[in-house]
Amino acid sequence: MIERDVVDRIMSAANIVEVISDYVTLKRKGANFQACCPFHNEKTPSFVVSPSKGLFKCFGCGKAGNAVTFVMEHESISYPEALKIVAKKYGIEVREREMTEEDIRRNDNRESMFALNSWISEYFIRYMQENKDEGLPVGMSYFSSKRGFSATTIRKFGLGMCPSGGDRMTRDAIAAGYKEEFLLATGLTLKRESDGRLYDRFRERVMFPIHNISGRIVGFGGRTMRTDKSVAKYQNSPESEIYNKSYELYGLYFAKKAIQQADYAIMVEGYTDVISMHQAGVENVVASSGTSLTIEQIRLIRRFTNNLTIIYDSDAAGIKASLRGIDLVLKEGMNVRVVLLPEGDDPDSFARANRATEVQSYIAKHEQDFITFKAQLLLKEAADDPIKRSTVTTDIVNSISQIPDNIKRSMFIAQCSKIMDVDQNLLISEVARRRMMSLGDSEAEAFIRRQQQQIRRESGYYTQQYPSNLQPTESVQDLEIVEPTASAQTLEKEIIYYLLKYGDHNYEKLESGEIIKFNVAREIVSQIDNDGLVLKNPIYEQIMAIYRVALSENRLPSQTEIVNNTNPELCTTAVDILTLDDNYIESEIWSQKDMHSLSESEMLSTGIPKLLWLYKAKVTLSRIAEINQRLASDSLTEDEFETLLIELTNLNRLKVSISNHLGRTLI
């Protein structure tokens, strides 16, 4: 853990223009700097850096933050790692919490393994490019002549070769000062049980280093140059302290920027598929390296995009074996599409035979949603056999049931109904059943209760159950009905907007014949706290907490204090709100005419009270809805029922009071 005073020193030292200039060419425009955004493709600069405020904001894609969160976002690393990078730039020593001896030993071992892998990678490269007996005629010839990789591509991916001869690499590594224990721990070297002799795992193989998301080499893949059928064509590093194949995607380090810019990732199978696609100019490509797609790998991709296109060759058996991966992608809430390559092609050969525009055009023209693809693939075998068709339908329904989003799920159900010629209501019921089966007992019971309560509400059950002596005394049922159109989320955002942008401003109001001065921050915080309200958005509530603490110390927090908060999500949210245009407001507080005709003082004295009353209205209506739901339940005791009904009566009175302040009736 990095100490708070060290974090403060880093934030104070960090010049946001200097930090971002290491990654992007900035041009001055007035008091600020501009550039084309590094997070998405654009021709007109919309990425703005404000040195005075210490923040950046892209008005195209919405990315925003401070110097540290920029590094965090650009490098796709954790917040502490980004802090260390910025600290190193300014010569600040970062000391984290005291580590135990075991922590130190483990950390030292990991660093030793990374150092060894880095040296070995260079060793493989040198051997392939300098050895005239085997490296050049075998290794380099394979990559350049057979695979068609250019010198630039070979250098980019660090391709090399491990010597033949049994233990040559191991002997050279030990002679260079690397320890046997780490050669064994990384799996680069093996030991015979019979005589204890060491030998090279990857002997006589061309080598593909595997980089993690930060660019460090965690393992290797090797392809044999022997024609012996008894020798496995590909062999990978075993799992180790630094390498877990389920958590790595080959090529992601080289593809992450392109994935962000294109807003979709392409998934292929092997090393050469990725490399050939990159060489062709299609760089948003990664591979699972022959392993089944895992949840961890999917979540790695989701850090950069929510869209995944999987490319398959025409091998039907191989496709079926990998279909489970599609269900995992769907379960993570991602959008997945599938492309089938022409007969006889794989991504490697297809990329070598076509230019980037042709590859991209083919993908755009032939990609299908998973329902269409799965149906076409499986129905070829099912033909008109009703039993096989029902099996296909069940398979597709199971995939649909993995989708967490209700709207997407309903759309795919409708599509499945058309393709498979099955009644849509039947599919809806089956998908719901499968989703409920996947829930735990408590979640399933809650699901059933919600369904029962919905039926009761629609039938008017709970209104018929009110005891006559406890009917609400101040009903608004006969009055004109108006519901606030702004959501609670929008109103909360506006509360934070005024807090951040105008918290240190004052306004005046006439109350009981006297002009009273109000501070914006104090009024907002006191009104929220006096009614015992908590903002539902956790980041907004954290910002409120910062103001509560500062006000208790009889001060106001500065914008810099908020923007440089150690929580990167809070920082990004604050910057996003601070850089909003004053005309952004979506609620009913202002018409655009009002915004341009009122002075700042008039705007605050009218807007702040109205905003807070609207928010109270929304919270009150939400609580009334919750109580109505609970009243519809059979599980309530009489005491619970009466308590809730009394609260409902009081809330209805409050609703009338809010209506009077807002000048209209609420539902």
* pLDDT for residue 450 is more than 70: no
* 654 pLDDT more than 50: yes
Read off the DSSP letter of residue 96.
B
pLDDT single digits (tens) 194-250: 888 999 999 999 999 999 887 889 999 999 998 888 889 999 999 998 898 988 999
CATH number of this structure's domain 4-89: 3.90.580.10
Q: Which of 555, 554, 576, 434 is nearest to 496 (CA)?
A: 576
| pLDDT exceeds 90 at position 274 | yes
From-to residues of CATH 3.90.980.10 in the chain: 110-243
Closest by CA to 564, choosing from 553, 554, 575, is 575
Residue 418 pLDDT greater than 70, yes or no: yes
Yes or no: is domain 110-243 CATH 3.90.980.10? yes
Residues contacting residue 431 through CB under 8 Å, at least 6 positions apart: 397, 400, 401, 409, 413
Residue 452 pLDDT > 50, yes or no? Answer: no
* Residue range(s) in the chain whose domain bears CATH number 3.90.580.10: 4-89
**According to the model, what pLDDT value does residue 460 have?**
47
- Is residue 619 over pLDDT 90? no
Average confidence (pLDDT) over 547-558: 85
Q: What pLDDT is attached to residue 370?
A: 84
Q: 3-state SS of 559-601?
A: HHHHHCCCCHHHHHHHHHHHCCCHHHCCCCCCCHHHHHHCCHH
**Across all residues in the chain, what is the average pLDDT?**
82
- In the block, residue with structure tokens 């061309």: 206
Determine the Cα–Cα distance for residues 472 and 32; give it in Å rounded to an integer: 59
Length of the chain: 667
How is domain 252-366 classified at the CATH fold level? Dna Topoisomerase Vi A Subunit; Chain: A, domain 2 (3.40.1360)
Q: Does residue 349 surpass a pLDDT of 70? A: yes
pLDDT in tens, 121-146: 999 999 999 999 999 999 999 999 99
Name the band, by pLDDT with cuts 50, 70 and 90, for residue 1: low
Which residues does residue 28 pair with via DSSP β-bridges, in sequence order?
A: 33
Confidence category of residue 664, pLDDT binned at 50, 70, 90: low
* DSSP classification of residue 341: P
**Left (φ > 0), alpha (ψ -120 to 50) or beta: where does 383 sit?**
left
More confident residue, 78 or 585: 78
Instruction: Tell me where in the chain the CATH 3.40.1360.10 domain(s) lie.
Output: 252-366
State residue 598's pLDDT score: 65
pLDDT digits (tens, 9 = 90+) for 461-488: 444 444 333 333 333 333 333 344 457 8
